[in-house]
A and B are shown apart, each in its own frame.
Chain A
Amino acid sequence: MKLERLVRLDRRIIYLLIAVGTLLPILWRIGFPVSPTPPVQALFARLETLGPGDIVLASFDYGPTTAPEITPMARAVLRHCFERRIRVVAIALFPLGGVTMGGEVLGEMAAEYPALRDGEDYVYLGYKDGTQAAMKLMGASFASVFPFSNAGVPVEEIPLMQQVRNYADIDLVVSFSTNVIGEWWANLVNAQFGVPVAVGTTAVWAPKHFAFLDSGQILGLLGGLKGASEYEHLLVAAYPRLEPLYERAGVYTAMKGMDAQTVDHAIIMLFILIGNAAHFWMRRRESARRPG
């Protein structure tokens, strides 16, 4: 009888376990091991070679639905830049919420570094539609695509933008992307203008980007929560000062998200095994009972 109950387990028990298995790890970190992979290390190493005076273009090409995966990447990369005093020009090319994501994440990170000045050390230019056209146009002139910053300041009046005319003045592009936009940075901007590009994208899109990594069109790749957690791991190892930000309870990080993923995967796999074992024993018992 017990076996039947196991085979036809109330699905609400699974729901409950998934809910708990997701919630607890994102509140308190479990600390599963994180082993950084070469594409993530490559981006980290590149930012380590940059410093004050260098400029990174951060493009927010994602929206709220993929925020759990991508926002931790954006936070970690921006923190890394600000730790190294690399200046950041942020833009948004994703129509569904890219502009709010960019504003929120950049604002949050900049607030952690009160010494940095808006307009000198970082600037947010806001959203522009017509993705590919805008990308091409920035190769000629940023000011023609973004005549004003997101706050409405004309770019000529922004000290940082006076040093940025086009891609030639950018040392690295990092696209935080939820779809094909990341690929366009590789096969359009890198291919036509030669500016180095790195992409952080969702787990679903990451495999498609490996071809660009192989061909050298992108120099680094963060794939999904796993890529984000690897970057966080590298960052904390190199800048121990940041560790409290990543270990604190009640703050969401990719390392915590990855813990939740691992727990949920384990729960699901465990249930598959239990279900099959019960199914198997039940069938055996039935065939044993059958006469002849």
Chain B
Amino acid sequence: MFWKLRLPLILTFLVGCVPVVTFFLAERVPGVSIVPTTVERYMVIIAGFALLLGVVNVVQGSVRRIAQRRPGWPFAISLLAGLLVMGSFGVLSALRVGPFQGLLAGPRGEVTPFLWMTRHFFDPLQAAIFSLLAFYIASAAFRAFRVRNLEAALLIIAAFLVMLGRTPLGEYIFRWAPGGERWLPGLTDWFMAVPNTAAQRGVIIGAALGAASLSLRVILGIERSYLGAKER
């Protein structure tokens, strides 16, 4: 029990106090800041090892899928192929083997194989999936923006006015009035600067307190779901 639960909890407490104490001492005691910088370097390395843990899981899952001929197994091959090609380019670049000198640029700025793959496979795929949002934001607005009650009405009216104020349409509608072309754009700015800031601020303050409270629970060993461990 000690090794499996107590030890991790004691470590959590000790390690958790380090940044708290160094934070308040950092500006007063010269040299203290070396502690967080060193520990952070360690943490980045640990996270690096964790990525490999994920890779192992993906490879296991894909191989299993292919071996058992599960539905869609050929796609596991394309996954493994992408992983193998890109991953090996990456590792070879890290080891600086043969033509793989440098990851995203060669010693004289030339295009590396890794960069070529990044530009023509990775970047377009990333941008394409990201841009699906333009479609989804439209369908979400159509489907979900129904005036069902007062709260929904407030949300929809605000969204509608802001959308209108962000285009030349918003300037056009009230053009007939003196200075009218600034009305809707001005209203948009007001919505963002006043009610939206108020809502965001309230959420941020509450969430920050919630996060700090969670931190304290973890440091004190009360919250331990991440260890899978139950309270005593």
Contacts and interface: CB of A to CB of B under 8 A. Distances in A.
**Is there a contact between chains A and B in the complex with CB atoms less than 8 Å apart?**
yes
B169 A15 contact: no
Interface stretch (B26-34, B61-69, B135-143, B198-206): B135-143
A264 to B, nearest CB: 7
Contacts of B145: 272, 275-276
A191 B186 CA distance: 29
A166 B142 CA distance: 54
Contact-size category for B: 20 to 34
Given A65-B130, A276-B146, A18 B166 contact: no
Nearest to A19: B135
Interface in B92-141: 108-109, 123, 127, 130, 134-135, 137-139, 141
A292 interface: no
Q: Say what secondary structure dominates the interface of chain A.
A: helix
B187 interface: no
Contacts of B146: 275-276, 279
Contact of B143 (A11, A34, A35): A11
Interface stretch (B15-23, B79-87, B156-164, B217-225): B156-164
Contact of A18 (B123, B138, B156): B138
B75 interface: no
Contacts of B141: 268, 271-272
B142 A271 contact: yes
Contact-size category for A: 20 to 34
Given A15-B135, A272-B145, A265 B164 contact: yes
Interface string A1-45: 000000001010011001100100000000011110000000000
Contacts of A261: 166-167
Q: Say what secondary structure dominates the interface of chain B.
A: helix
A209 interface: no
Contact of A262 (B130, B169, B193): B169
Contacts of A275: 142-143, 145-146
Contacts of A272: 141-142, 145, 156, 160
B1 to A, nearest CB: 48
B163 A269 contact: yes
25 contacts: A14-B135, A14-B138, A15-B139, A33-B172, A35-B171, A152-B109, A258-B167, A258-B168, A262-B168, A265-B169, A267-B138, A268-B137, A268-B138, A268-B141, A268-B142, A269-B160, A269-B164, A271-B138, A272-B145, A272-B160, A275-B143, A275-B146, A276-B147, A279-B146, A280-B147
Interface of A: 9, 11, 14-15, 18-19, 22, 32-35, 64-65, 152, 203, 207, 226, 258, 261-262, 264-269, 271-272, 275-276, 279-280
Interface of B: 108-109, 123, 127, 130, 134-135, 137-139, 141-143, 145-147, 156, 160, 163-164, 166-169, 171-172, 181, 189, 192-193
